[in-house]
């Protein structure tokens, strides 16, 4: 197996930039296209039909992207066999940026060389049912300069339970509320310049909102999770030259 890629965070979504205009070939009235840029995972865009669908983004001026992610979708179940991302300077002449075959409803993650365009278009192949997507990310990735410390587990799962007991303490029943994962991240060799140029801007601009986290986009691109920081407390102590970071990421399974 190829060596693991270093973890990445996806937070700066071009679809959510001020002034960005998102349109789609068709949308269900209860699932508008604007939901594609909303970090709340219970909101989804749904196409108005199973015909060929294009999702277009007008940024007003050229802006760069190097990552495509599609999270919480039904594309395979809807019979869609592939997606293609295009870029354009005028909204008429399109250049292919990246394509991805669809063979499951697992999250889609593609990284590519940075490309700057005013317009981006995601083309969905024709399906038998309307497409539905929870989050569409087109933007830049924040990649950690090193791997997590030893002991890192990328796939923890636990159950959030609600138990009822009698006055005497007997267990009356247990209800599974939801399943979640808590990922422990620890880094000990972060340069001060990387922290100031990358991590702090992310923290100041985006936390406490959720974001996408991928621990190995090279070998396990489908293992990308929508998470939030359990306790948004920023501490980056020197040790003694490099800076260290510990985070707990939490999200639904």
Residue 39 phi/psi, 5-degree rounding, is -75, -5
pLDDT in tens, 31-48: 999 999 999 999 999 999
Which of 22-31, 121-130, 173-182, 190-199 has the least mean pLDDT? 173-182
**What is residue 2's three-state secondary structure?**
coil
How far is the C-alpha of 202 from the C-alpha of 236, rounded, in Å? 14
Task: Show the tokens assigned to 152.
Answer: 């890192």
pLDDT in tens, 100-147: 999 999 999 999 999 999 999 999 999 999 999 999 999 999 999 999
What are the residue boundaries of the structural domains of the chain, listed by start?
8-143, 158-252
- Interior/surface letters 31-61, b for 16+ CB within 10 angstroms, e for the rest: bbbbbbbbbeeebbbbbeebeebebbbbbee
Under 8 Å between Cβ of 37 and 138: no
Which pLDDT score is estimated for 250?
95
Q: How confident is the model at residue 1 (pLDDT cuts 50, 70, 90)?
A: low
* Domain at 8-143, CATH class: mainly beta
Which pLDDT score is estimated for 148?
94
Q: What is the mean pLDDT of residues 62-69?
A: 98
Under 8 Å between Cβ of 214 and 188: no
Q: What is the mean pLDDT of residues 12-41?
A: 96
Q: Which of 251, 29, 234 is nearest to 130 (CA)?
A: 29
Which of 40-49, 91-100, 168-177 has the least mean pLDDT? 168-177
Which segments within the chain are labelled E, that is strand? Answer: 8-13, 21-24, 45-46, 53-73, 82-88, 95-101, 108-124, 132-143, 158-165, 171-190, 211-214, 224-229, 243-252
pLDDT higher than 90, residue 3: no
Supply the mean pLDDT for the chain.
Answer: 95
Which pLDDT score is estimated for 178?
84
Handedness of CA 9, 116, 97, 194 (dihedral sign): negative
Which pLDDT score is estimated for 73?
97
Percent of the chain clearing pLDDT 90 (strictly above): 85
Q: Which of 185, 78, 197 is nearest to 140 (CA)?
A: 197
Q: Which of 225, 203, 182, 177 is nearest to 41 (CA)?
A: 225
**What is residue 130's three-state secondary structure?**
coil
In sequence order, what are the beta bridge partners of 70?
108, 136
The secondary structure of residue 41, as a DSSP letter, is: T
Q: Output Rg (C-alpha) for the chain, integer angstroms.
A: 20
pLDDT in tens, 222-245: 999 999 999 999 999 998 889 999
């Amino acid at each position: 197996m190829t060596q693991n890629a270093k973890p990445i965070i996806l937070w700066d979504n071009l679809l959510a930039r001020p002034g960005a205009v998102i349109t789609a070939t068709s949308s269900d009235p209860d699932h508008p296209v604007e939901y594609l840029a909303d970090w709340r995972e219970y909101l989804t865009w749904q196409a108005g039909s199973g015909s060929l669908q294009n999702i277009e983004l007008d940024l007003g001026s050229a802006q760069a992207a190097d990552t495509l992610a599609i999270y919480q979708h039904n594309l395979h179940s809807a019979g869609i066999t592939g997606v293609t991302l295009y870029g354009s300077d005028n909204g008429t002449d399109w250049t292919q940026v990246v394509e991805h075959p669809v063979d499951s409803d697992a999250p889609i993650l593609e990284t590519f060389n940075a490309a700057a365009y005013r317009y981006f278009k995601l083309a969905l192949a024709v399906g038998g049912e309307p497409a539905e997507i929870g989050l569409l990310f087109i933007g830049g990735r924040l990649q950690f300069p090193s791997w997590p410390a030893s002991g890192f587990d990328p796939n923890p799962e636990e159950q959030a339970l609600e138990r009822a007991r009698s006055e005497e303490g007997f267990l009356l029943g247990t209800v599974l509320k939801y399943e979640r994962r808590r990922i422990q991240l620890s880094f000990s060799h972060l340069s001060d310049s990387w922290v100031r140029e990358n991590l702090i801007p992310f923290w100041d601009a985006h936390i406490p909102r959720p974001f996408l986290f991928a621990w190995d986009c090279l070998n396990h691109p489908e293992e990308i999770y929508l998470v939030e920081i359990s306790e948004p407390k920023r501490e980056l102590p020197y040790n003694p030259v490099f800076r260290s970071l510990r985070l707990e990421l939490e999200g639904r399974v």
